[in-house]
Amino acid sequence: MTLKVGTVTIGQAPRVDVTPDLKQILGSGIELVEAGALDGLSRERIAAMAPREGDYVLVTRLANGESVTICEREVTPLVRQKIAAHFESGIQAVLLLCTGEFPDFSGAGLLLEPRRVLFNMVRAVLPPRARLGIFSPDAAQTERSAKRWSALTPNVRSVAASPYVSPDESVPAAAEELARWGADAVVMDCIGYSLAMKAQARRILGRPVIVARSVAARMLAELV
């Protein structure tokens, strides 16, 4: 019997860059039903969601592979609608494909938010005062990211490395920067970072690298 699990990206579905890694972990017994907060929106509408000064910046991917930057306050209502639609269709478990911080989403089923799982998993294994490196998709996110993760250790460095634009260059460059800094462990804090990117960073760093999508997928497999 195949179990249906909903996914909601803050960008557009299908997320062909994410689902192969998820399916590798989840196995053949789970069918992913995808939805995107930006599905069906015009370029003009998406452009109007660009962050302004003081906005919480989010980075995501459109169905054509293009990377876009949007703000949390604009996309949150759309994400809430897609989550509700999954539950209303009879799907009982939904995975949010974003590690960003959002208001609480209420629903009629199980909602897995990767940021909660990722943060608490790292909290459980990180030694006190360890040097923690963070990958963020955009330079506009690094300050907020470092502040958030500093709740676990005072020794945090967040670096920008887009998983969507030239990752073959940005990921190694960020890994090398964190290696020079002396990171004890690294978190790739975006669903866009793949298992292949994790392996590439791990080879450069020689230290544990934790990637959001695999942590979320393994937790989902445990729950369903």
Binned at pLDDT 50, 70 and 90, residue 107 comes out as confident
Supply the pLDDT for residue 26. Answer: 95
Does residue 188 carry a pLDDT above 80? yes
Per residue in 134-144, pLDDT tens? 999 999 999 99
Q: Where are the alpha helices (DSSP H) in the chain?
A: 19-26, 43-47, 72-88, 114-125, 142-149, 167-181, 195-205, 212-223
Q: Cα separation of 212 and 199, whole Å? A: 13
Q: Where are the domains of the chain?
A: 3-113+214-223, 117-211
Look up residue 43 and give its amino acid.
R
* Segment 160-175 mean pLDDT: 97
* CATH topology assigned to domain 3-113+214-223: Rossmann fold (3.40.50)
Look up residue 100 and give its amino acid.
G
Q: Cα separation of 186 and 61, whole Å? A: 23
Percent of the chain exceeding pLDDT 90 equals 96
Supply the pLDDT for residue 124. Answer: 96
The answer to whether 72 and 58 are in contact (CB under 8 A) is yes
Per residue in 21-79, pLDDT tens? 999 999 989 999 999 999 999 999 999 999 999 999 999 999 999 999 999 999 999 99
CATH node for 117-211: 3.40.50.1860
